Chain A
Amino acid sequence: MRATLTRMGAVSRKEFLHLGRDKRMLAMVVLMPILQLLLFAYAVSFDVEDVPTIVIDTDHTTTSQAYVAQYEASPFFDVVAHSDALSAADTAFDRGEAKVAVIIPAGFADALFRGERAEVAVLVDGSDPNSATVAQSYSVALNQLLSTQITEDWASRQGLDLSSVGVLEPRIRTWYNPDRSSADFLIPGLMVVILAILTTPQTAVSLVRERTLGTEEQLQISPMRRIELMVGKVAPWAVIAYIDVIAITLIGVLGFGIPLRGSVAALAVGAALFIVSALGMGLVVSAVTPSEDTANIAAMLISLLPAFLLSGFAFPLNQMPVIVQGFSYVFPARYMVTLSREVFLKGAGFTEVWPELVALTLTTVALIGLATILYGRRSSR
């Protein structure tokens, strides 16, 4: 047992020395996650407001101007340009200057005055489907509301009794995120993404590297067992990643004012397990890839994509096809994002997050075990 510890310690020390020699690397590894957190906490948002809108009013009447004023008053549309020419809409769309074009044909006011239905056209640029969906719905709603009002005004002028027609008015409230920054919900998940990207690529190259440098044989003839090598390789990176966890948590809580309502111990245990499992994933890559280039690309694929897309950090898991959802259970990021959110925002402790902790423990053991077996198979060849 003591010999095992000594040997693991020796590998860890060697890894630390490598890292200590490389000051630039050390600085990158510690500082970059913090910088990323600061940038991405603001960037990850689909919120749509102030969509640039061009108004083409060929009617030039006070009625048409009153109609345009409704768009100007809406928080959703931002009238950036006025024009007389129909071609202005095409130009504005092609140059990306406007996403919505409101076209009021000549005779708009006359039609209303005569008591007819006036036509207006609203064109929406569909090349950004997210904001186009929202723009489409809001302009339909806005026009229906205005149309109702116009009919009502007319009816009352005609002396028709419409007193029983009230209007339903939506009052939208946004919970959790009233000031457009989703920091509260994003940072606990973002932490997981940043950690995954930091850790997996590190161990992914580490075993391949020993091979390309020719130091693998030296390790093999030493009395070191494979599992000892694995643990020794993982330890230094786990320490560094943990420093990043603490830094990110502190920045989140102190800088962004994210509530840490739940058990810090549960978060600490979860983060430790997640880091080791992510490093273990790197070791699996390292055990099966023949070259550092391959290891690099494989690590990118296996760390970045699942952590980013299949963890539920920004893309709701329940909107995905069932097969993709099933796929997400294989990667530890999913469990850690859930755990982190539960602890930060919902005040969860060990009693609530034990399923995630069990899942993380299982993936950790499975990945380190798999790496050991695969590495053994390769070196015995």
Chain B
Amino acid sequence: MNPRRVRLLMWKEFTQLRRDPLLIRLLILMPVLQLLLFGYVVAVDISHIDTAVVDLDHTTVSRTIDSSFTASEYFNVTHQPATEADIRALMDSGAIQIAVVIPEGTQDALTRGDVAPIGLIVDGSDTQVSSVAGAYASRILASLNATRLADQGLSGTGPGLDARVRVEFNPTLDPINTMIPGLMAVIMMISLLAIMSQAVVKERESGTLEQMFVTPIRASEYLLGKVAPYALLATVQMLIVAVVGMTWFRVPFNGSWAVVITGLALFMLSCIGLGLFVSLMSRTRQQAQQAMVFIMLPFMILSGFIFPIASMPAWLQPVSAVIPLTYILEVLRGAFVKGTGFVDLARPLIALAVFAVVILGAAIVAMRRRITD
């Protein structure tokens, strides 16, 4: 390894980067834009769900139920159709996402001491809203039950449960607190894959790759010189995400930076390796670009970045186990939100190390083969 040769190559890459001021601006702008989009689109708190209440009972009880939904900040009662059949049209048009049906005879059933079923119809097309809406609605009904019992003069007397439900780590349940740590990894992945996948194939297309290989430069030196400038850029991007996330979005940080840095460094090696591998395997820049897009998308969708892995069907879950992004998300979220340390994050960290070694190793082997060709 000759440091002078590495330095020269790095200088060449930086010069090329400087010639393209739009690229640098884009690379700086990208994390900010993504932060804002993901922060305000994906990490929304679900509240004020448009609701229809169908009151077929027209009694005091049914009006109490209606007003409990109206009073709740989670629901926004926009329609009060006369019949159950009207719900279909409202839900089809997207005007409501949940309908509460109070059947005729609800009050009578309650006075008899029976169980009175209340229909909750949720729009399953949006699974995020539907699962939350079902839970909120169950909670409202349960607290109505408790109130009714208390009204019988039994409050404070008699046995009962005093359940204290406490949310650990992220008490405000703000989704942004897990979104932004994940975004650090995703943004690094996008920019490193986009640039590294072009790195070698670009030189091949313009014919400078041969020139490079008739120089005394060695494969490892070439790799290091090629990679270092972009690794630096990706680090800057991550810092932007971390700073904006912690200042503007006020994401708390509970863990140790050593865990975060170790994880990100290992993940960075995987990204670089993957990008280089794509670049070495592609014959044209277009191929490399297409391959990169088709790698990135499954990474983002199947890693649990947005859609929880637990919600996927069992046969699909093993696929997320072979995606490095899955593990770095575990590390980052663990460190940021839970303050988990090295010991408990050993499994994902080891997985990341294995990915880094295997992927980077494959890229280096492919590189050697290219040179001897």
Residue from A44, A129, A140, A165 in contact with B152 in the complex, judged by beta carbons closer than 8 Å: A165
A292/B173 in contact, CB under 8 A: no
Q: Mark A26-59, 1 if CB is under 8 A from B, else 0.
A: 0011001000100110111111111100000000
Q: Is B60 an interface residue (CB 8 A)?
A: no
Residues of A within 8 A of B138 (CB): 137-138, 141, 170, 172
A304 to B30, CA, bound (A): 12
A174/B132 in contact, CB under 8 A: no
Q: Say whether, besides A28-B294, A151-B154, A297-B30, A134 and B135 are in contact (CB < 8 Å).
A: yes
Q: Is A257 an interface residue (CB 8 A)?
A: no
Q: Mark B336-354, 1 if CB is under 8 A from A, else 0.
A: 0110100010010000000
B124/A177 in contact, CB under 8 A: yes
Q: Say whether, besides A127-B178, A147-B160, A167 and B307 are in contact (CB < 8 Å).
A: no
A119/B118 in contact, CB under 8 A: no
Q: Is A228 an interface residue (CB 8 A)?
A: no
Residue from A128, A146, A201, A296 in contact with B198 in the complex, judged by beta carbons closer than 8 Å: A296
Interface residues on A, range: 35 or more
A346 to B290, CA, bound (A): 34
A296/B194 in contact, CB under 8 A: yes
A310/B41 in contact, CB under 8 A: yes
Q: Is B249 an interface residue (CB 8 A)?
A: no
Residue from B27, B65, B124 in contact with A174 in the complex, judged by beta carbons closer than 8 Å: B124
B38/A93 in contact, CB under 8 A: no
Residue from B124, B167, B297, B337 in contact with A178 in the complex, judged by beta carbons closer than 8 Å: B124
B146/A147 in contact, CB under 8 A: yes
Q: Say whether, besides A130-B175, A171-B117, A172-B122, A292 and B202 are in contact (CB < 8 Å).
A: yes
A133/B173 in contact, CB under 8 A: yes
Residues of B within 8 A of A290 (CB): 20, 22
Please give me the residue from chain A that is nearest to B61 by CB atom. A168
Residues of A within 8 A of B92 (CB): 346
Please give me the residue from chain A that is nearest to B148 by CB atom. A165
Q: Is A361 an interface residue (CB 8 A)?
A: no
Q: Is A65 an interface residue (CB 8 A)?
A: no
Chain B interface SS verdict (over half): helix
Residues of A within 8 A of B165 (CB): 122, 124, 136, 139-140, 143
Q: Is B293 an interface residue (CB 8 A)?
A: yes
* CB neighbors of B among A142-182 (8 A): 142-148, 150-152, 154-155, 158, 160, 162-178, 181-182
A164 to B149, CA, bound (A): 10
Chain B interface residues toward A at CB < 8 A: 20, 22-23, 26-27, 30, 33-34, 37-38, 40-42, 44, 46, 50, 65, 91-92, 106, 109-132, 134-139, 141-146, 148-149, 152, 154, 157-171, 173-175, 177-178, 190-191, 194-195, 198, 202, 206, 283-287, 289-291, 293-294, 297-298, 301-302, 306-308, 310-313, 316, 319, 330, 333-334, 337-338, 340, 344, 347
Please give 20 more A-B residue pairs, beta carbons under 8 A apart, in addition to A119-B164, A133-B46, A151-B158: A28-B291, A39-B301, A40-B301, A44-B307, A48-B308, A122-B165, A122-B166, A123-B166, A125-B167, A144-B139, A147-B160, A147-B161, A155-B158, A166-B113, A168-B106, A168-B110, A184-B125, A205-B286, A292-B202, A293-B202
Shortest Cβ-Cβ A-B pairs, 6 listed: A177-B124, A126-B170, A166-B110, A137-B135, A143-B163, A185-B125
Show 20 residue pairs from A and B whose CB-CB distance is below 8 angstroms, ordered by the A residue: A22-B286, A44-B307, A46-B307, A46-B308, A50-B310, A130-B128, A132-B167, A144-B161, A165-B148, A171-B120, A174-B121, A174-B122, A185-B125, A185-B126, A201-B290, A292-B198, A294-B20, A297-B26, A297-B27, A305-B34
Chain A interface residues toward B at CB < 8 A: 22, 24-25, 28-29, 32, 36, 39-40, 42-51, 91, 93-96, 111-134, 136-148, 150-152, 154-155, 158, 160, 162-178, 181-182, 184-185, 197, 201-202, 205, 209, 212, 288-294, 296-298, 300-301, 304-305, 309-310, 314-316, 318-321, 324, 346
